[in-house]
Amino acid sequence: MKTFFGFALADSMFVGACTIVRRELSTLTAKGLIAQGVESCCNPSHAATIAAMRSRFAIDVSIPAIPPCVMLHSGDSIIVMGVRGLPRLTDRHQYTAEEINSASFTFALYTVQ
């Protein structure tokens, strides 16, 4: 059983017909699960969002040079962090403390049954 971490889901992540259970996580629970070890699906374009998560919650997730092809089988999970309120970075590479503090972050665990 594997646990992944990312910012979104794609239909292609799920193998065959399956049942998916979604559970909202508190930040503390998400932090604990991430600390147990996750395989990051993030890519280099997510660096500023990972830095914002690190700054706000002291949660760190690596950014692999080449993101894995995620295939979720029975028993596998993915922790998804949703973010609202952070602007698109078009002319800079990081968020301000004010932008991070005003944004909302949520965590959910999707598990394939």
> pLDDT of 13-38, one tens digit each?
999 899 999 999 999 999 999 999 99
3-state secondary structure of 26: coil
CA–CA dist 64, 45 (Å, integer): 11
- Confidence at residue 50, expressed as pLDDT on a 0 to 100 scale: 92
CA–CA dist 56, 26 (Å, integer): 14
Task: With CA atoms as reference, report the closest residue to 5 among 49, 92, 101, 84.
Answer: 49
pLDDT at residue 94 greater than cutoff 90: no
CA–CA dist 51, 58 (Å, integer): 9
Give yes or no for a contact between 95 and 46, defined as CB atoms under 8 angstroms apart.
no
pLDDT by residue (tens digit) across 46-75? 888 999 999 999 999 999 999 899 999 999
- One of 3.90.1150.10, 3.40.50.11170, 3.40.50.11820, 3.90.550.10 is the CATH number of 3-112, namely 3.40.50.11170
